[in-house]
Amino acid sequence: MFKTLAKFIKLTFKINPLFYLISFLQAILNVSKMFIGVYAVKWIIDLVLTASYEQTVRLAITVVLIQIGLLFLTKLLDQVLRVVRFELRYDLNRYVTSRVMRLEYEKLEDPYFLDLRERAKFAIDNQGVTWMLLEYMTTFTSSIISILSLGLILFFFDWIMIVVLLGALVLHVLIFNMSNKFQLTLTNNMIPINRRFGYYLSTLLNVENQKDYRFTNLNKLVHEKTSEFTNETVGMIEDIQMGMSRFSFASDVINYAVMGFSYIYIAIKTLANIIPISDFILYTGTTIQLGEQLASVVGTVADLKRNVEWIKPYFTLLEIPLQDELHKGNLTLGPIETIEFKNVSFKYPKTEQMILKNISFKVNKGEKISVVGLNGAGKTTLVKLLSRFYQPTEGEILINGINIDAYEYKSYVERMAAVFQDFKIFAYTIAQNIAGHPNDPQGAQDAANKVSLSKKLASLEKGIESYYGKSLYESGIELSGGEAQKIAIARALYKNSDLIILDEPTAALDPIAEAEIYEHFNDLVKEKTALYISHRMSSSVFCDKVLVLNNGEIEDYDKHQNLMKKTNSLYYELFTTQAKNYQS
């Protein structure tokens, strides 16, 4: 617990040390209010007994004014602390997001990482752990200062009271430990269920799935699954609440027992004239306050312990080495002259099947290469390796004769642009989607024109400044699959990189739009090097060479015309079969 808590304190203090300063000041103010409240009653009673009317009134007014002033400062600090705590929580989320974006890509497809990320997300989003930990830190600081101060008063009064309170403290610790174990067990059992519930719920609410639901029985299946997991989750939450009620009741019984003993014990001393009646008020009030603070600090420690357990995946996530930490290339990649795969083999982590087997080929500057093959041949995997999403299992990839890991990652990706099969268009303007920033609408327009989007944009009221989608803006526009794909291609062209990777760039385009893209393909990429992956063989006609992959191996690497002379080859079969389908 303490190791993880120390990490949390170190990280939060580094991000915003003001939180701890304000928390300490607030704790001092709370203790001051408590002490004045306890001693004021004693002082007033003493003055009443001495029949000093004027002094009593003056003291009462002074105490009230001081308490009002402290209350005002406490409320003010409380509001400031809320804002600082919110900002700190936001900064923590932003910090972990920035690290996730810099992790090796292979982690994003690793089941272990996905489960770890889900546990961290569950703790932060569902449990509110970061917020709770920050609040508990404030409460804990105040309680500790109060306990030390109150304990000192009781110690000089009667050590028996300290022994009684310590005995109650031990019982509170045992109760809260049992409570923690109970909650953690049920919560850990609930996380996998919650993950599946989240999947079914998002599937049920996904607008894109509604057409399938209306014409199949899938909606009934998903609804039943969602209801099943809802009932299971609700049942577990009920178990947690019932269990917590029992532990809370036991804790309250201990508090009332201590309170009863304190009244009786101190009353006996008062009746025996060992202490004055004003001290009866002082010490009973102090005992009750100290008992409450002890119970509070035990509860806070228990809550801290439970939340620290929940936040452990968060720090495990933060401790995963980043891509730039693992691959510390420091060379700056200049203009790309050559790309070479040299005896490259690859299998995905935690698997045994080789996806690529001893791949070797070379691409020169300005060449357009079409990569074709059956599904599962390794085409997309080849792109992932070149993009440095994964490391080759064997062999190496060279750019300009140097292993790609020797290059600094930022300069490496700046020389490349890619359109992947699962590209995304975001809820920004079309110009921002293309340029990646709001400062060059004309450049974005030029890129859009190159992929024949000018007519579509001209038909929009705000043109290229139109927002995409209606998830954030009512005026947002919707695009067809082909139009969205053209924007993704325009985004790659706007980057003006040496190498353009197009992974199934026309999958959502109709044949006419596809032909239009192909017709202008060489003009679009000009002197750039292009790696073009497609199931549609017509792309090969426009390329300098065709790389034919079959079962993870290179079957051919030649010009389209030469490959078509090999009538018994996989390429010839793929091309002629597809050509017949188009003719029919």
Q: Is the dihedral of CA 438, 444, 448, 454 positive or negative?
A: positive
Residue with tokens 């040299």: 342
Length of the chain equals 584
Distance CA 273, CA 269 (A): 6
Amino acid at position 313, single letter: P
Enumerate the domain spans of the chain: 2-323, 338-425+479-583, 426-478
> Which of 241, 264, 262, 255 lies closest to 298, judged by CA?
255
Q: What does the pLDDT read at residue 508? A: 58
Residues in CB range of 91: below 8 A, 6 or more apart: 15, 16
> DSSP character for 332?
P
Pick the CATH number of 2-323 from 1.20.1560.10, 3.30.450.40, 1.10.260.40, 3.30.465.10: 1.20.1560.10
Q: What does the pLDDT read at residue 512? A: 59
Tokens encoding 346: 């690859």
* Model pTM above 0.85: no
Tokens encoding 17: 């040390």
Residues 259, 288 contacting (CB under 8 angstroms) = yes
- Which residues of the chain have a pLDDT value below 50? 584
Residues 517, 505 contacting (CB under 8 angstroms) = yes
> DSSP character for 122?
I
Which region, left, alpha or beta, applies to residue 540 given φ > 0 means left and ψ of -120 to 50 means alpha?
A: alpha
Mapped onto helix, strand or coil, the DSSP state of residue 491 is: helix
- Second-level CATH architecture of 338-425+479-583: 3-Layer(aba) Sandwich (3.40)
Three-state SS for 49-75 is HCCCHHHHHHHHHHHHHHHHHHHHHHH
Residue with tokens 């059992």: 189
Tokens encoding 389: 């999403």
